[in-house]
Amino acid sequence: MIKNFLTIDNGGTNTKVIIFNQTGQQLAVEAFPTQGIEPQSGFHEIDLKKLHDDLGNAVKAVLAKAQLTGDDIAGVATVGHGKGLYVLDGDHQIFRNGILSADSRAEEYAEEFESRVSDIYPISKQHVMPSQAPVLLRWLKDNRPTEYGNIGAILSNKDFIGFLLTGVVKQEIGDASGNNFMNLETQQYDPRLFDFFGIPEMFDKMPELINATDQRGTITAEAAAQTGLKEGTPVFGGMFDIDACAIATGVLDESKFSVIAGTWNMNIFPSDKLAPQGSGLMNSIFPTGKNLIEASSPTSAGNLAIILKMLMTAEIRDAKDAGHSIYDNLESFLENTDATFSKVIFFPFLYGSNVAPEAEGSFIGLRSNTTKSEMIRAVYEGIAFAHRYHIETLEKVGGKPEVIRMSGGACNSSSWVQMFADILDTPIELVNATELGGLGGAMASAVGTGVYETLEEASAAMSSVSRHYDPQADQVKIYDAKYHAYLSFLKAMDGCWYDFKQLQDGLEC
């Protein structure tokens, strides 16, 4: 009998509940927006009690779509965004909002810690980012001491959702290792890291560590009533979303890179090596036991959504009135233009940067006859350039990949995927599933329930390539010239971003 698996994939933009069977067939998906709260500039939070209620409704809805009941689900896994902070009190109750990975309140803290990162890099093999949990904890300690004192357990996003389903507080090792909590050699929490961040009292608040395919618990009676899942159904450790996408796309060694073009710009590959401190790259523990080498920043497709709201309000409204999406019109536009169309360069730094903390979104090359269409195409190109910036850093450690397996919202546009192939000058492949985080979670459940012995075996059985894109030589040549201009402008701006940010802050006062 073929088994079915349910995955809850909680991203920074959308949350999805997906059902796959053991052959990798996607049976149903239900999605809802991850409704962030921005109480003040740079603060990105989520109401955890509302998330709890929304998840229950979504699980019921996806079961109905698949025409299944809770009895038909053999296992559940959770997948979620990395970084951010989800805490419970001493009685394991929700008492404050979760903090999303886009949060930048602790930017100055991160900069100060990063200036001393050589003190901890030999332990964690991690650089410091503003949305990492230890940095946010230190910010809470200094700025919200009462809340900080109430903390009884510290979780990642997907482990919090696992807690909602099982009532058990455990943390999957991949997320913890990517959050500057762990010694990558011992694969355990290290008190020296907590001392470094000035939060030594949090060491004893850390949950037991588990692997992606370990059972964290079972569906409780309360969760069963809320979701329609069967009480006692096993719930597995699950994965950080970039790990899930890599495994779902068959990226299991250095021969392939995984590129995720979604809310974040994520570029990764598993390796037996570790990236050195000077590379600027991040290391964490991959679910297969290898090391995950990561280059990432908030410089991807989220920038396109913001620019469209700025520049194309009327077009968005007209498309909706006509019964379709603005993205349908844009796909036709991309199909009928090429690398020669736009003479403008765009820096996709609206949510943050991969060059300097203060760098912000910019168009360069605007003329009196520049069209809105040129600007829009420049945004598509600039996002791909930001990915190339990261990938060239990865190649210094892993070499040039044979192929890139791509996922994320950008994959909904065939023309954009082709643009990525041209800008990266590397073949790109897409796999058969559309919900890759969900598929990676289903693979964890498939191994956890014994259908497959390893994640490698599950990946081979449940995933296959559906489309292949080769670079086009004429487009590669033009994009190379544009990318070198992109780099030249970044170099020219080095040291200028900070002064401009100080000016902006002064004008806001």
Q: Find out whether 405 and 431 touch, Cβ atoms under 8 Å.
A: yes
pLDDT per position as a tens digit, 330-388: 999 999 999 999 999 999 999 888 888 789 999 999 999 999 999 999 999 999 999 99
Burial of 501 (0-12, 13-18, 19+ CB in 10 A): middle
pLDDT at residue 42, as a whole number: 86
Q: What is the mean pLDDT of residues 79-85?
A: 93
Q: What's the distance, Cα to Cα, between the start and end of the chain in Å?
A: 65
- Residue 328 burial (CB count, 10 A): 12
pLDDT at residue 94, as a whole number: 97
Q: Report the percent of the chain where pLDDT is more than 90.
A: 88
As a whole number of angstroms, the distance between CA 268 and CA 429 comes to 15
pLDDT at residue 465, as a whole number: 95
Sheet holding 282-285, edge to edge: 282-285, 291-297, 265-271, 256-261, 403-407, 428-431, 465-469
Angle 372-398/473-493 helices, nearest 10 degrees? 90
269 phi and psi angles, rounded to 5 deg? -155, 145
What sign does the dihedral 218-222-225-228 (CA atoms) show? Answer: negative
Closest of 31, 230, 51 to residue 155, by C-alpha: 51
pLDDT at residue 262, as a whole number: 85
Confidence class for position 286, pLDDT limits 50, 70, 90: very high
- Say if 4-248+438-463 and 302-429+468-499 have the same CATH topology: yes
Cα 268 from chain centroid?
Answer: 11
As a whole number of angstroms, the distance between CA 401 and CA 394 comes to 10
3-state SS, residue 500: helix
Closest of 252, 254, 298, 247 to residue 437, by C-alpha: 247
Would you say residue 13 has pLDDT above 90? Answer: no
DSSP string, 245-266: HHHHTT--STTEEEEEESSSEE
pLDDT per position as a tens digit, 232-255: 999 999 999 999 999 999 999 999
Q: What is the mean pLDDT of residues 15-33?
A: 96
Mean pLDDT of the chain: 95
Confidence class for position 264, pLDDT limits 50, 70, 90: confident
Q: If you search the block for the tokens 């073009």, which residue do you land on?
A: 261
Residues 6+ apart with CB under 8 A from 192: 120, 123
User: What stretches of 312-453 show up as alpha helix (H) in DSSP?
Assistant: 313-321, 326-335, 372-398, 414-424, 436-448
Residues 6+ apart with CB under 8 A from 271: 253, 254, 290, 291, 292, 293, 397, 398
Q: What is the mean pLDDT of residues 53-73?
A: 97
pLDDT per position as a tens digit, 303-336: 999 999 999 999 999 999 999 999 999 999 999 9
pLDDT per position as a tens digit, 125-183: 999 999 999 999 999 999 999 999 999 999 999 999 999 999 999 999 999 999 999 99
pLDDT at residue 503, as a whole number: 87
Q: Where are the domains of the chain?
A: 4-248+438-463, 302-429+468-499
- What are the structure tokens assigned to 421, written together? 């192939």
378 phi and psi angles, rounded to 5 deg? -60, -35
Confidence class for position 225, pLDDT limits 50, 70, 90: very high
Confidence class for position 212, pLDDT limits 50, 70, 90: very high
Q: What fold, for 4-248+438-463? A: Nucleotidyltransferase; domain 5 (3.30.420)
Confidence class for position 509, pLDDT limits 50, 70, 90: low
487 phi and psi angles, rounded to 5 deg? -65, -40
pLDDT at residue 495, as a whole number: 87
As a whole number of angstroms, the distance between CA 172 and CA 193 comes to 18
- What are the structure tokens assigned to 455, written together? 């994640």
As a whole number of angstroms, the distance between CA 192 and CA 203 comes to 10
- What are the structure tokens assigned to 412, written together? 């909904």
- Residue 462 burial (CB count, 10 A): 27
pTM: 0.90
When the candidates are 3.30.420.40, 3.90.1150.10, 3.10.20.600, 3.40.640.10, the CATH number that belongs to 302-429+468-499 is: 3.30.420.40
Q: Find out whether 137 and 154 touch, Cβ atoms under 8 Å.
A: yes
pLDDT at residue 132, as a whole number: 96
Q: Given its phi and psi angles, is residue 375 left (phi above 0), alpha (psi -120 to 50 degrees) or beta?
A: alpha
